Structure 1
């Protein structure tokens, strides 16, 4: 019974799951560890903003102490002579203090810090968007690659069956002394190469399936069956290169990240400037203590004391301590501005590359479709002429290889077209 259950479970894992690219994206959004990590980072940014805002609330503290006093020595004749001790009736000392402070002016420190944390939160959101787009593109790459390998496998399998049937006919002709042994050996060699290629294609498909399974949180050995059709079934509206670049600068998370880093650099300079301004706040203190030794005359009794007022503080050393910090912040700001320009340059470069390849793939499809028609007719003619002893085996095998290559080229162009289109969407923030 246990063996039956184990076999049944194994067969369940091995059954192929029909899967569209959209479904893979949805599962990856839930199971991708990189996306989860970026989401947690974004949540931590939200808490950091709340923490910065909470600093606007008054500071309230309480402290308590208890101790024992020693007898107090009095050196009437100097420290080198014998001391007289003042006897204490009660050696205990204790107190409880409640204090508070509310800042009413701090040179915009708190406001600037809140703005910095808000910018960091936006930065983490854009980083999450970029991570999601990158995962979407990686998933699309793997999905399209799997489609490609499965189509390769289908074509090569058909080619192997065709080669086996052709080899059987050549074997009969060789047994009858009609063709040379070299013809038989060449046909056998081609068949062996095709079988090796088929094995490699199957292994590549298995590797890509594992990659997709990891994205979706499935077992590594789970079989997958892509359901999306290969190639675009209708003409897609293609924007111009300038329109793609405009979209990228407007919506690309990479561009938004670069903008936020520049904004953060500006706020860092503002924060350093605010450190040179004074701080003004209201304070209050209420304490219960024993004994009364703060005010004269002293009393060996507990007492209550309350104090309220205004506190002004100013760090004079910040005038010369922060000079180099400000210069460093200004240099870092210029660095971020240059980095932003570099991001825009790179976006234009990768978009132009994807755009040109996308247009190129569309042109290739038409050429490769014509190549298939020509290669099919060429193979048909040579197949007839060879078995009528009017052409060489090398011509027939070359025609077979050319037909297979033409079919592979067309599928590759269709997959490449989809991939480059996904790349355009990724770089413009629309994938």
Structure 2
């Protein structure tokens, strides 16, 4: 009868600890997708990327403005002193009165017609920078999402571990009470009581560490996602019921080659370097532009004596300019640009290699997680059989309480490892999504 009451108490303690934990932690149950949506608008770490996109968009407008005409206006007002005349040997000084008020106004317009491709390539460069900014945002978004997924699944793991630890503490205390009762009856040793008191103390310390880890993970998750400080996220248990695809590695490799943001960014870097080469080459070509102007100046000082009137004239024409120094300066700049392009291509090759290696490693771990799940399912089955057998023997006074405790702990540990195995499958699936740019 005592054994039956103890067994019932163990089960009640386990259920009670789970219920208390649920009440304490159920602040807000959220799915991973909900976290991703919140982070899209609230994450502080993503805002600089959005600002970078806006800056790149503004740069396109600046580049296009180079196609517009340059218009300059000059206005001057001056005081002109009297002049003088002399002979060539500076003798026979004579004063030459000049109108003292000098005014001038000019308006000049220059419209670029041909710049050797500098303007068009500059606009193209700005567009490529915008594309790169968008890919950088995509990469940062994927980094944030994968970080959130890691925190989310770790919270699930440690929550499960906390439940197991609380159950172990409750069971250890039950055994400790039983041993104390037997010690009073003279059938248990004081050393056994001390051993289980130490076990309870270690389990309680482990529980404190688990709670601290959960607090840190929740804090990191909330800050990264941009959630309010008071929100405590509880993972949705339905995530373990998701059916995840198991495609072959070639499919994942193809998806990575098409969608990985790091590869998109590296390819855009190659395009930017090649565009920079074209801009350097444009320095060797002449520049052609339409020119027009109008000016009015006074007084007219080219006449002797000066005429106190305004002289106005206008002009329209075509201007051609050529930078002769580009013949011997551009070669060095072009050589530098070509090296930069080669470096960008090599960086693309290195990025592609890293992505291929990453996909391979993640895919192997993904399949390994499924194998681990099968192993843990078998472990749970065996642990349940052992628990049932030990429980029957304990009820018949054929097993010690320590045997019952070991069987219960083995069952709980096996169940914990089974949940962790399912979580590992989800983790490596999201790792594959992250590596391939599909998260």
TM-score using structure 2 length: 0.88
Distance change >3 Å, CA 83–CA 268, structure 1 → 2:
farther
Of 309, 326, 343, which aligns to 2:317?
309
- Give structure 1 stretches of 5+ with no counterpart: 1-13
Task: Name the SS of the counterpart of 2:186 in structure 1.
Answer: coil
Q: Distance in 2 between matches of 1:166 and 1:92?
A: 112
Change (3 A) 1:304 1:296: farther
**Count of aligned pairs:** 415
Residue 18 of structure 1 aligns to a residue in which SS?
strand
- Once residues 294 and 36 of structure 1 are traced to their aligned partners in structure 2, the CA distance between those partners, rounded to angstroms, is 64
Question: 1:146-165 residue pairs with structure 2 within 5 A?
Answer: 146-165=155-174
- 1:282 partner SS: strand
With over 3 angstroms needed to count, the CA separation of the structure-2 counterparts of 1:295 and 1:232, relative to structure 1, is farther
1:82-101 equivalences under 5 Å are 84=93, 86-101=95-110
Structure 1 residue 225, shift from structure 2 partner: 2.1
* 2:79 aligned residue (68, 85, 88): 68
Partner residue, 1:187: 196
Counterpart of 1:357 (choices 344, 353, 365) is: 365
Cα deviation digits, residues 118-138 of structure 1 (max 9, x gap): 111101011111111111111
Distance in 2 (CA, whole Å) between partners of 1:299 and 1:205 is 92
Q: Is contact 1:160–1:195 with CA below 8 Å preserved after alignment?
A: yes
Q: Any idea what SS the aligned residue of 2:67 has?
A: coil
Specify every segment of 5 or more residues in structure 2 that has no aligned partner in the other structure, as ranges. 1-24
Which deviates more, 159-168 or 66-75? Answer: 66-75
Residue 104 of structure 1, aligned match among 95, 113, 116? 113
Change (3 A) 1:82 1:246: farther
Q: Give secondary structure in 2 for the equivalent of 1:229.
A: helix
What is the distance in 2 between the residues matched to 1:380 and 1:195?
27
For residue 245 of structure 1, the aligned residue among 233, 253, 258 is 253
Query: Are the counterparts in 2 of residues 187 and 397 from structure 1 also a CA contact under 8 Å?
Result: no
CA distance in 1, matches of 2:249, 2:158: 31
Which residue, out of 118, 123, 126, partners 2:132? 123
Question: In the alignment, is residue 40 of structure 1 matched against residue 51 of structure 2?
Answer: yes
Structure 2 equivalent of residue 50 of structure 1: 61
1:415 equivalent in alignment to 2:426: no
Residue 112 of structure 1 and its aligned partner are, at CA, apart by 0.8
Mapping for residues 198-213 of structure 1, pairs under 5 Å: 198-213=207-222
* 8 Å Cα contact 1:230-1:414 kept in structure 2: no
Q: What TM-score do the two structures reach when normalised by structure 1?
A: 0.89
Counterparts of 1:384 and 1:294 in 2: how far apart (Å)?
A: 125
Deviates more, 1:404-413 or 1:355-364: 404-413
Distance 1:181 1:315 in 2: 99
Note the C-alpha offset of 1:395: 6.0
- C-alpha distance 195-385 of structure 1, shift in aligned 2 (>3 A): farther
The alignment partner of 1:231 has SS state of helix
RMSD: 2.4
Instruction: Judge which range, 125-134 or 65-74, deviates more.
Output: 65-74
Shift of residue 230 of structure 1?
Answer: 4.2
